[in-house]
């Protein structure tokens, strides 16, 4: 029985792939075989065409999906962005340790509008804090001390005491003076930290419109509508270009 089945299958395959001129030449008295082969090829073509049409219908969506991946601003972020530790790792994230970190930190670029301003400063400070082991966020909203000035960016940091401290990142675009450091040390306050009583304190803590957990969320942000802080998140937070003089 198995031998007969194999023979039938063999004949079927042979008929499917046998050229028509061979059948006409050597099987002239068997038009049924020719018709069978033609119908079989037609059905095969129809089945293949049906599969192709389904794939073609999905092609635009697939292309758009791949384009979204290629054009994703997060893909432009340097590789292993948070995996380096240029400032060491702080095992404790208490407020005093945060202040110790901030007192030794300075941004590598002076303040420069549209090249290294509040957004780049905030993004690089968030990166430095994260690589040192702290949990930091990039905040964006109206200028905390004067909303009429437009949008602003700053940093919020969680401490082991359960506090979320706001930090004005642009402070670090210049080195701290001796008397500033002395006065701050005597009062037990960290550089750049916005404390109660400072102008805009409540807005620093709660007045943000966007709070980004990491750089990937920030660069994917489409940007504000109708207000000055740039066109897109990537153009605002790409400090790795502005910090080293690249545009």
Band the pLDDT of 10: cuts 50, 70, 90: low
pLDDT digits (tens, 9 = 90+) for 20-75: 554 455 554 455 544 544 555 456 556 656 766 776 666 666 666 656 656 788 88
Separation of alpha carbons 80 and 69, rounded Å: 18
Residues 104 and 201 in one domain: yes
Residues 9 and 95 in one domain: no
Looking at per-residue pLDDT, the higher value among 175 and 186 belongs to: 175
Q: Give the torsion sign (CA, 130, 134, 137, 142).
A: negative
Specify the pTM: 0.69
Structurally, how many domains does the chain consist of? 2
Task: Tell me which residue range forms the domain holding 219.
Answer: 84-242
The answer to whether residues 23 and 16 touch, using CB atoms and an 8 Å cutoff, is no
Residues 116 and 32 in one domain: no
pLDDT digits (tens, 9 = 90+) for 158-181: 999 999 999 999 999 987 665 566
Q: Write the DSSP string, 11-30.
A: HHHHHHHS-HHHHHHH-TT-
Q: Name the token pair of 172.
A: 């670090």
Residues 28 and 124 in one domain: no
In a domain, 106, yes or no: yes
In a domain, 79, yes or no: no
pLDDT digits (tens, 9 = 90+) for 187-217: 667 889 999 999 999 999 999 999 999 999 9
């Amino acid at each position: 029985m198995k031998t007969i089945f194999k023979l039938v299958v063999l004949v079927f395959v042979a008929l499917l792939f046998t050229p028509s001129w061979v059948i006409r030449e050597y099987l002239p008295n068997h038009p049924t075989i020719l018709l069978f082969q033609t119908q079989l090829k037609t059905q095969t073509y129809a089945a293949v065409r049906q599969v192709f049409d389904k794939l073609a219908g999905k092609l635009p969506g697939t292309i758009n999906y791949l384009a979204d991946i290629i054009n994703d601003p997060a893909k432009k972020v340097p590789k292993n962005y948070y995996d380096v530790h240029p400032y060491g790792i702080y095992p404790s994230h208490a407020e005093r340790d945060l202040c110790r970190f901030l007192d030794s930190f300075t941004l590598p670029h002076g303040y420069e509008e549209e090249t290294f301003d509040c957004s780049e400063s905030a993004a690089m400070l968030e990166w430095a804090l994260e690589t040192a082991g702290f949990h930091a966020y990039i905040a964006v909203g109206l200028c905390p001390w004067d909303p009429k000035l437009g949008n602003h960016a700053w940093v919020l940091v969680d401490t082991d005491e359960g506090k979320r401290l706001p930090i004005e990142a642009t402070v670090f675009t210049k080195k701290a003076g001796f008397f500033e450091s002395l006065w701050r040390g005597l009062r037990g306050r960290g550089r750049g930290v916005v404390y109660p009583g400072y102008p805009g304190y409540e807005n620093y803590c709660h007045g943000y419109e966007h709070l980004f957990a990491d750089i990937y969320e920030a660069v994917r942000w489409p940007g504000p509508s109708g207000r000055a802080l740039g066109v897109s998140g990537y153009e605002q937070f790409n400090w790795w270009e502005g910090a080293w003089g690249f545009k």
